[in-house]
Amino acid sequence: MRCTPEQLDLNHPLYALFNRDMLIRFTDKGLYVEAAGVYIDPWKPVAKALITHGHSDHARWGHSQYISVQSSVSILKHRLGDIIVTGKKYGETFKINGVEFSFHPAGHIIGSAQIRVAHKGEVWVVSGDYKVENDGISEAFEPVACQHFITESTFGLPVFKWKPQEHVYADMLEWWQRNAADNRSSIISAYSLGKAQRILKGLSSSCPGPVYAHGAIFTIHEILRNEGWDLPEILPMPLGSVVPDIQKALVLAPPGAIGSSWQKRLKDPVSAAASGWMGVRGTRRRSAVDRGFVLSDHADWDGLNQAIEATGATSVYVTHGYTDIFSKWLNEKGYDAHIVKTEYGTDQEELLNAEADTLSSADIDDASNSGEAISPSEKDIIL
């Protein structure tokens, strides 16, 4: 029996029939491996949870036991508090009730992983979030052969095609140097886990001034440095209502700090945001920043297709993002593709563009920092 994508809605009458014999079942708590009695990235409290990475939409508080890749353990403990968590090495095989599991690099952020699940000849891979461009700091994405692949589609439209990251870093550096020459500090809004470390690594060889960070970013940065990650040394934002003498500095802050009383401590700063959504007209304005840099920790259109093809999977389950469009595209390419309703897709990058699901061709800017609009055809958007 072949189900349409809509039939994977948990409320659909045919859902239980479709779902009952699958190694990974899609439930109202999360992705459930019934034979092992464990969930993957559950959004409701469960007894045992396997976690792909430390972002809050995938790693939630309240589970009795957590299992993650070792490089994510310290972040999970910092974010979730006093939890019971077991770390595994990438590629290490372990069994739960006879079901075989292993973690493999996803390239999304430090400590991000895909989870391979194998039982009785059936192999699934849960990708979590991923990107295929090697950022030089996160463990690089590793294709894992499987029959069933569960994928995100945050940027699952053909207009999303990222420039090489080196070009983005060069633009950032030029912007920072120009601001420093004007004796103005530069603030970049970036997610505390992942994007902030990536920017710091990308700019570390050519800094024209000191680098300061908001407390949320500085704390995670120091946790990772103490774990042995090769990250540049930065300074915590000084205390005080007005911070003097950092006009030439780069300051990294989470999105919520932009435009807040925290930012008012700086004298006449220039602000920017780094996100894949900065290629969408209007996002920079809504984010209240002066400049946008198109830099994403998620795969673009080509990256999504490349990753899926490399797995050799015949069945693909599309979770958060442009699920309707991307699953339709995959079905037209010959995959058995379905939409899966989940509660993923609520991290800061994915929330930056609240109107993402209603984009038209007029809303899409070239995925560059030039700000020049492109005019893709309606077919490019809707497929």
Read off the pLDDT band of 80 (50, 70, 90).
very high
CA separation (Å) from 180 to 67, 174, 245, 268, 348? 45, 10, 12, 12, 28
Q: Beta partners for 350?
A: none
| Residues 213 and 313 placed together within one structural domain of the fold | no
Cα–Cα dist 244/260, whole Å:
18
Q: Which of 16-30, 81-95, 202-216 is predicted most confidently? A: 81-95
| Residues 73 and 208 placed together within one structural domain of the fold | no
What's the mean per-residue pLDDT of the chain? 86
pLDDT of residue 288: 73
Residue 334 lies in a domain: yes
pLDDT of residue 355: 35
User: What value does the mean pLDDT take over residues 274-295?
Assistant: 85
Count Cβ neighbours within 10 Å for each residue of 36-61 and write b for 16 or more, e otherwise.
bebbbbbbeebebbbbbbbbebbbbe
On whether the CB atoms of residues 78 and 219 are closer than 8 A, the answer is yes
| Residues 48 and 104 placed together within one structural domain of the fold | yes
Residue 110 lies in a domain: yes
Cα–Cα dist 51/85, whole Å:
10
CATH number at residue 235: 3.40.50
Read off the pLDDT band of 58 (50, 70, 90).
very high
**More confidently predicted of 17 and 122:** 122
CATH number at residue 328: 3.60.15.10
Res 203 pLDDT > 80: yes
- Between CA 292 and CA 296, with CA 293 as vertex, the angle to 5 degrees is 125
Beta carbons within 10 angstroms of residue 262's beta carbon? 15
In the sheet that holds 38-40, the strands lie side by side as 25-26, 31-33, 38-40, 48-50, 65-69, 85-88
| Residues 257 and 337 placed together within one structural domain of the fold | no
Domain boundary among 260, 293, 326: 293
**More confidently predicted of 236 and 265:** 236
User: What value does the mean pLDDT take over residues 191-209?
Assistant: 90
Residues of the chain with pLDDT > 90: what percent?
A: 72
- CA 341 to chain CA mean position, Å: 18
- Candidate from 39-53, 89-103, 239-253, 299-313 with smallest mean pLDDT: 239-253
On whether the CB atoms of residues 318 and 340 are closer than 8 A, the answer is yes
Q: Which two tokens stand for residue 41?
A: 């990235």
Read off the pLDDT band of 373 (50, 70, 90).
very low
* HEC string for 41-62: CCCCCCCEEECCCCCCCCCCCC
- Could you tell me the pTM of the whole model? 0.88
Per-residue pLDDT tens for 115-149? 999 999 999 999 999 999 999 999 999 999 999 99
Q: Give the residue numbers spanning the domain of 42.
A: 5-160+297-346
**More confidently predicted of 282 and 181:** 181
Residue 59 lies in a domain: yes
pLDDT of residue 375: 29
User: What value does the mean pLDDT take over residues 31-48?
Assistant: 98
Cα–Cα dist 42/129, whole Å:
14
* Of 368, 282, 350, 287, residue with least CA distance to 55: 350
| Residues 15 and 136 placed together within one structural domain of the fold | yes
User: What value does the mean pLDDT take over residues 15-27?
Assistant: 76
* Of 60, 62, 100, residue with least CA distance to 76: 60
Residue 213 lies in a domain: yes
Per-residue pLDDT tens for 304-360? 999 999 999 999 999 999 999 999 999 999 999 999 999 998 654 444 433 333 343
For the chain, how many structural domains are there in total? 2
| Residues 24 and 126 placed together within one structural domain of the fold | yes
| Residues 181 and 193 placed together within one structural domain of the fold | yes
| Residues 88 and 172 placed together within one structural domain of the fold | no
Read off the pLDDT band of 264 (50, 70, 90).
confident
| Residues 63 and 145 placed together within one structural domain of the fold | yes
Give Cβ neighbours of residue 22 (< 8 Å, ≥ 6 apart). none
| Residues 289 and 303 placed together within one structural domain of the fold | no
Residue 260 lies in a domain: yes
Residue 369 lies in a domain: no
Residue 63 lies in a domain: yes
Res 168 pLDDT > 60: yes
Res 196 pLDDT > 90: yes
Q: Beta partners for 240?
A: none
Sign for the pseudo-dihedral over CA of 44, 61, 353, 126: negative
pLDDT of residue 239: 73
Read off the pLDDT band of 102 (50, 70, 90).
very high
| Residues 147 and 84 placed together within one structural domain of the fold | yes
Residue 354 lies in a domain: no
Sign for the pseudo-dihedral over CA of 196, 198, 199, 204: positive
Beta strands at 31-33 and 38-40: parallel, antiparallel or unpaired: antiparallel
On whether the CB atoms of residues 139 and 105 are closer than 8 A, the answer is yes
- Candidate from 20-34, 94-108, 278-292, 354-368 with smallest mean pLDDT: 354-368
Q: Tokens 């800094």: give the residue.
A: 207
AA identity, residue 121: G
| Residues 96 and 215 placed together within one structural domain of the fold | no
Q: Which two tokens stand for residue 16?
A: 């239980």
Read off the pLDDT band of 19 (50, 70, 90).
low
Phi, psi at 191, each rounded to 5°: -60, 140
pLDDT of residue 337: 97
